[in-house]
Every structure is written in structure tokens, then in C-alpha cells.
Amino acid sequence: MKKFLLLFFILSFYINNAQTEERDKKDIQAVLKAQRIAWSKDDIEGFMDGYWKNDSLKFYGSNGITRGWDNTFEKYRRNYPDKDHTGILSYKINDISKISDNNYYVLGEYHIKRNAGNIDGFFMLLFRKIENDWKIIVDTSN
């Protein structure tokens, strides 16, 4: 009976962990979907809702590291000043992997169709669950 109970608890733990991980991945995908929709409406501030609103946010792109939510927001506003520059965003998510509790990385590709010329690139995002919300804490895009 003890072996059965031990097996039951171990199995329950793994099933619960798998369900939690699947829910986390769906929640992260929902953040990315909301960002895609906001971007395609030329709503940079709405797009930025997916990022951690903190001075410790890091964005690493072709021009080096941008630190902080405010600086990242200003960079986006400067580089994408209007609908001709934001265009329509689409993603291809290639991988979402758990790093540790409340931390995941996302690997993917982005495609922006726009009047100012299309843009394609790759990204790696680090997500952390902060106060029950999934937020991007590091963005490496190129």
C-alpha cells in the first residue's frame, strides 16, 4: 500500500507539473497575441504592455542594449513613428521552454508587412511571471 501511495503522489506531481507548464505556455502565447494585435493597430503603448515596466528591462538589438521600459518605449516610438512603419506584425513561435519556476524563454521569428518596407527577423524573449502576469524581462531581437 505504501508503494502505491508513493507512486500515486509522484504521478500526481508530474501530471500537475505538466498541466501547469501547458497553462503557462498558453498564457505566454496570449501575451504575444495581444502584442501582435496592438502592434498591428499602431498601438506601441499597448504593445509595450507585454514588457516588464521596470528600469531593469533589457532590450538587445542591432544597436546594442537598451535598458528600462521607458527607454525601450521611446526607441520603439522613434523607430516606428506611424502606421506606415508599424505595419502588420506576425510571429512564428519556434520554441517555448521552461527555465525554472515562473521563467520561460521563447524563440521565434517575426514578420512585419508595411508600407515603409517589410522587415523579418528573429527573437529570443525571457518571460517571468511577475505579480501573476507574464512579462518580457529580456528581449533579444534582430
The model's pLDDT over 33-45, given as tens digits with 9 standing for 90+, comes to 999 999 999 999 9
The domain tally of the chain equals 1
The per-residue pLDDT for 17 is 64
The per-residue pLDDT for 104 is 98
Residue span of the structural domain in which 114 resides: 2-141
pLDDT at 13 over 80: no
Q: Is the dihedral of CA 118, 74, 60, 89 positive or negative?
A: negative
The per-residue pLDDT for 4 is 54
Beta strand segments in the chain, E: 58-61, 64-67, 88-100, 103-113, 119-130, 133-141
C-alpha closest to that of 29 among 108, 101, 99: 108
pLDDT at 48 over 60: yes
List of residues 6+ apart from 108 with CB closer than 8 A? 91, 92, 93, 94, 95, 122, 123, 125
The SS3 call for residue 8 is helix
The per-residue pLDDT for 131 is 95
The alpha carbon torsion through 90, 94, 109, 106 (nearest 10 deg) reads: 100
The per-residue pLDDT for 1 is 58
Cell of 90: 506576425
The per-residue pLDDT for 19 is 74
List of residues 6+ apart from 115 with CB closer than 8 A? 83, 84, 87
Q: Mean pLDDT across the stretch 25-34?
A: 98
The per-residue pLDDT for 77 is 96
Mean pLDDT for the chain overall:
91
Q: Mean pLDDT across the stretch 84-97?
A: 97
pLDDT at 128 over 80: yes
User: Distance between CA 86 and CA 118 in Å, rounded?
Assistant: 10
pLDDT at 100 over 90: yes
CATH value at residue 53: 3.10.450.50
In terms of Cβ atoms closer than 10 Å to its own Cβ (0-12, 13-18, 19+), residue 116 is: middle
The SS3 call for residue 20 is helix
C-alpha closest to that of 139 among 98, 102, 105: 105
The per-residue pLDDT for 20 is 85
